[in-house]
Amino acid sequence: MAYSTDADEIFPTLQQIVSDTLRVPIEQVTRESALSDLGMVESIKLLRVAGKIERRFDIELDDSLFFQGVSMGRLVDEIAAQRAAAVSGEAA
């Protein structure tokens, strides 16, 4: 199942994963919100989000990214970058 590396596709999927895992209404997960803004986030929940993203997009992410209060927008860029690398890696 090819993944588009286009950021507009990635964000809705990321929104769904974060909303399901942290049990936060999806409309409150905006591009600017950082995970710690979303309330009651614990390290285990953060890593669970990371695990689901990695499984869903078939990529590896640097975990510390999740602990530095980065925004959803930044995560989308990181996922897009890893996907692009993976796709070009496969193509090479």
Interacting residues toward another protein by CB under 8 A:
24, 28, 30-48, 50-51, 54-55, 63-64, 66-74
Measured from the CB atom, is 16 or 48 closer to another protein? 48
Q: Are 7 and 24 in contact (CB under 8 A)?
A: no
Measured from the CB atom, is 34 or 87 closer to another protein? 34
Measured from the CB atom, is 8 or 92 closer to another protein? 8
Q: Measured from the CB of residue 92, what is the shortest distance to another protein in angstroms? A: 26
Q: Measured from the CB of residue 20, what is the shortest distance to another protein in angstroms? A: 11
Long-range contact pairs involving 10-14 (C-beta distance under 8 Å, separation at least 24): 10/57, 10/76, 10/79, 10/80, 10/83, 11/72, 11/76, 13/56, 13/57, 14/53, 14/72, 14/75, 14/76, 14/79
Q: Measured from the CB of residue 58, what is the shortest distance to another protein in angstroms? A: 13
